[in-house]
Amino acid sequence: MHNATSGSNAAAGTPATAGGAGQQAAGSNTAAAGLNTAAAGLSAAMGERRIREILDAAPDAILQVDQQGRIILLNRATEKMFGYDRTDLLGQPVEILIPEEVRPRHHGHRAGYENHASIRPMGIGMQLEGLRRDGSRFPVEISLSPSESPEMGFTTTAIIRDITERKLVEARFSAAQEKYTGDLIEANQQLEVQNREIERANRLKSEFLASMSHELRTPLHTIIGFSELLGEELHGFLTEKQKRFVGHIHTDSLHLLDLINDILDLSKIEAGRLELRPEPFDFAALVAESMASVRTVTRAKSLGTEANIQVDGAVEADRVRVKQILVNLLSNAAKFTPHSGHIRVDAKTVDGFLVTSVTDTGVGIAPEEHEAIFDQFYQTGVTTRGVREGTGLGLAITRRLVHGHGGTINVESTPGKGSFFTFTVPMRPRRDA
């Protein structure tokens, strides 16, 4: 539509062209919009030099293309960005600035754009590239705005931004992110392997302990049995000293048996070999039995005992293990409560759970040790002075048994005042447990 003269006039930024640029005021980026608006306002008053200056001050390449796709206007940034002189580009098809393989497509797009002209970014979701005179390429972002004027017909203004820097930063960022993710995955895998090794070692340890405990118990029963027999003097009298020695053998082998039993229990639980066998039973009767089993101690220390059981109906749980839980808590209460103290058991049902507490007026446990006492072999230093005996395994086993039933256990205690242990077990075995 345009002759070479009008093309070069446009390129030089005649008022007419500047007006054209002005109509494209709503350029997709605000800088361009501002520029265009300014251009429109200024065109008449200031003439082509001023317009030229404004265009040339823009950091982005700005060029205008006629209906045939020929470049009719360009700014200084275009020259710099693509490595051409103005005169090399004016009148050339815009495809000169585009990598060869996309040129045919570009023709089509250009025709399509004329039919659906609007202000918009070009090639959304595509990696657009510019082609320099020296054949090198660089990533660009392009926004297009159309205009129509009687003098120039349909023209398109393109604002082209070199995004090499941004791409570099993005690439560096995603490389760092990838490396970071990779490191994390690797660390995770290492952890998994370590975890498996630890689990395996732990299982082997438990299995070893389980079988060892078994081997140890058999000869121990012999020692206990025969020292008992000796002490009974059915097969001959002993001197006072011999009797005392035999007594030591008997007491200490009983203690050793306790220890071994605890270890056996714990390793069984840890090896996952402890099976709970739920059966319905009368909880009040179980409490009475359990209290009877600590009677020797409570009598010797004149401890008052009391039970307040308000449980409706039978409890369905592993009776032997629930008794073990209770006896562990009661024997601790008896052990750590000084002469003339008091022990009580309270039980009720709450929301399908049997909630039982064992309260004593004993030495108590410092708050910072409320967690640790449930660890294996943990015995508090200060509070147990003078009463140190046992294995430190009782509460570890107790907690596992409670958890095995799907319950919880916790302690409240004030040193010097007493302790209050509460455990829960479901009244019935739970389907999912």
Q: Least distance to ligand ADP from the beta carbon of 361, Å?
A: 10
Verify binding: residue 130, Mg ion, rule CB under 5 A: no
Verify binding: residue 332, Mg ion, rule CB under 5 A: yes
Contact 222, 253 (CB under 8 A): no
Residue found under tokens 């103005």: 86
Q: Least distance to Mg ion from the beta carbon of 332, Å?
A: 4
By C-beta, is 99 or 390 nearer to Mg ion? 390
By C-beta, is 172 or 255 nearer to ligand ADP? 255
Helix, strand, coil tally for the chain in percent (to 5): 55, 20, 30
Verify binding: residue 362, Mg ion, rule CB under 5 A: no
Q: Considering CB distances under 5 to 8 angstroms, the limit depending on partner class, which of ligand ADP, Mg ion, none binds residue 379? A: ligand ADP
Token pair of 238 as six digits:
């002993």
Contact 327, 358 (CB under 8 A): no
User: DSSP assignment of 316-331, as one string?
Assistant: EE-HHHHHHHHHHHHH
d(CA 223, CA 254): 9
Q: Considering CB distances under 5 to 8 angstroms, the limit depending on partner class, which of Mg ion, ligand ADP, none binds residue 357? A: none
Q: Least distance to Mg ion from the beta carbon of 341, Å?
A: 16
By C-beta, is 394 or 418 nearer to Mg ion? 394
Task: Name the site residues for ligand ADP (rule: CB under 6 A).
Answer: 328, 332-333, 336, 360, 362-365, 373, 378-380, 383-384, 390-396, 419
Among residues 309, 307, 370, the alpha carbon closest in space to that of 343 is found at: 307
- Of 27, 341, 394, 407, the one binding Mg ion (CB under 5 A) is 394
Verify binding: residue 380, Mg ion, rule CB under 5 A: no
Sequence-distant (6+) residues with CB within 8 A of 371 are none
d(CA 284, CA 307): 9
Q: 284: number of CA atoms within 13 Å, CB side?
A: 9
Q: Least distance to Mg ion from the beta carbon of 327, Å?
A: 9
Verify binding: residue 24, Mg ion, rule CB under 5 A: no
By C-beta, is 287 or 334 nearer to Mg ion? 334
Q: Which residues bind Mg ion (CB under 5 A)?
A: 332, 390, 394
